[in-house]
Structure 1
Amino acid sequence: MFGPLGLSLAPYVKSSRTLSKWIQPIASWYADASGYRKYGFKYDDLLVEERPDVQRALSRLTPRENYDRAFRLKRASHASVLHAPLSKDQWTKPEEDVRYLRPHVEEVEKEDQERAHWDSLSVTRK
């Protein structure tokens, strides 16, 4: 669910080539301005880990993805303690900033929806 009503304009924007051309530079600027790449984070590193669906998604990561995530978190924590971002060569590049956790979270959400559907199913005898 996205937004206050659970709606997202992203599919509409992605389907329109013209709208995508207008929004993409703004989205890139916003991602750079937010500053998480200066500390070596990927966008999915910022998801709230305390959510149950994110916890289950984290358990589905490969050992390499788990290691890389832990490394990024520790490196960013160290940079934060030093009160300075990483050197520019260690920043996350836009092409490296891929959504590695979101597909797992979406899978968990679909499983929860399916489970809720089957758990609430009522059987009637004819």
Structure 2
Amino acid sequence: MNALGPSLAPYIRSSRTLRKWVKPVATWYADLMGYRRMGLKYDDLQVEEHDEVQRALGRLTPREAYDRAYRIKIASHRSVLHKPLPKEEWLNPAEDTRYLQPHVVDVIKENEERAAWDSMTVQRK
């Protein structure tokens, strides 16, 4: 189990039958959440208070950080207006890529490695 918790995703991806059943439900649920109507990507919804996410945000390129801030600013403005973006400006599912998750996973792996090295005991022969 990793720090993010157990995941059934690898098992579902490996089974064509499960993937065929789960994919439409996942697509429907992502559309139901409505974040794409506001112009946000899934990783824009990450809780920033976690140390791992904070460190991962620091690893974004300046362009990625700017784009993220812009999307959040536009979504906040549209939320105050109680109106989603016009339909032609909605984010397509193909554009909803995980740009932050690889950095978060790297930070978690580094933390685990650091903890392993810090707790190592040396025994003399």
SS in structure 1 at match of 2:124: coil
* 1:116 Cα offset (Å): 0.3
TM-score under structure 2 length normalisation: 0.96
In structure 2, how many angstroms separate the alpha carbons of the residues matched to 1:43 and 1:117? 31
SS in structure 2 at match of 1:76: helix
- Residue 22 of structure 1 corresponds to 21
In structure 2, how many angstroms separate the alpha carbons of the residues matched to 1:124 and 1:107? 30
- Residue 64 of structure 2 corresponds to 65
* 1:74 Cα offset (Å): 0.4
TM-score under structure 1 length normalisation: 0.95
In structure 2, how many angstroms separate the alpha carbons of the residues matched to 1:81 and 1:39? 11
In structure 1, how many angstroms separate the alpha carbons of the residues matched to 2:89 and 2:48? 24
- Residue 109 of structure 2 corresponds to 110
1:52 aligned onto 2:42? no
- Residue 13 of structure 1 corresponds to 12
The alignment of Structure 1 onto Structure 2 pairs a total of residues equal to 123
2:109 alignment partner AA: K
Give the root-mean-square deviation of aligned CA atoms.
0.8
Structure 1 gaps of 5+ residues are: none
* 1:18 Cα offset (Å): 1.3
Which stretches of structure 1, 4 residues or more, deviate above 3 A after TM superposition?
A: none
Structure 2 gaps of 5+ residues are: none
In structure 1, how many angstroms separate the alpha carbons of the residues matched to 2:25 and 2:82? 28
In structure 1, how many angstroms separate the alpha carbons of the residues matched to 2:75 and 2:40? 7
In structure 1, how many angstroms separate the alpha carbons of the residues matched to 2:6 and 2:61? 31
1:79-98 equivalence runs, <5 A: 79-98=78-97
String of CA shifts for 1:81-118, please: whole Å, max 9, x gaps: 11111111111110000100000000000000000000
